[in-house]
Amino acid sequence: MVCDHTAPHSGVSRYERTTAELRLTLVCDNCGAEQGEFARIEYRPNARRFSAQLAELTARQLGLDESQVARVRFAMLICDVGREKIPPRSSTSAAAE
């Protein structure tokens, strides 16, 4: 059965990995079909904090001493400093190569 999209609609945000954007859209509650787009917002998830914690845990599991653990954590925190200054299309196309 084809939906006529007369059911209520809800606002949904969808992350577009290829363009590094959050798309704010309107979808039909009956079938889930996208019926419109309100806005696009540049957005890239920032997992740096969690990555640093994982790097620290990994360093501890490897038996590194405290100064080495601190260096690993610091390196993970700063590994992509400046990334926000790179236009989204440049970084996504570079990652695809």
Residues that bind Zn ion (CB under 5 A): 3, 5, 28, 30-31, 33
Minimum CB distance to Zn ion smaller for 38 or for 74: 38
Check: CB of residue 71 under 8 Å from CB of residue 43.
Answer: no
- Residue 83 carries which DSSP code? G
Least distance (Å) between residue 97 CB and Zn ion: 39
Which residues make Cβ contacts (< 8 Å) with residue 29, sequence separation at least 6?
7, 8, 9, 10
Find the angle CA(59)-CA(84)-CA(34) to the nearest 5 degrees. 105
Minimum CB distance to Zn ion smaller for 32 or for 87: 32
Least distance (Å) between residue 15 CB and Zn ion: 22
Minimum CB distance to Zn ion smaller for 1 or for 96: 1
Least distance (Å) between residue 28 CB and Zn ion: 3
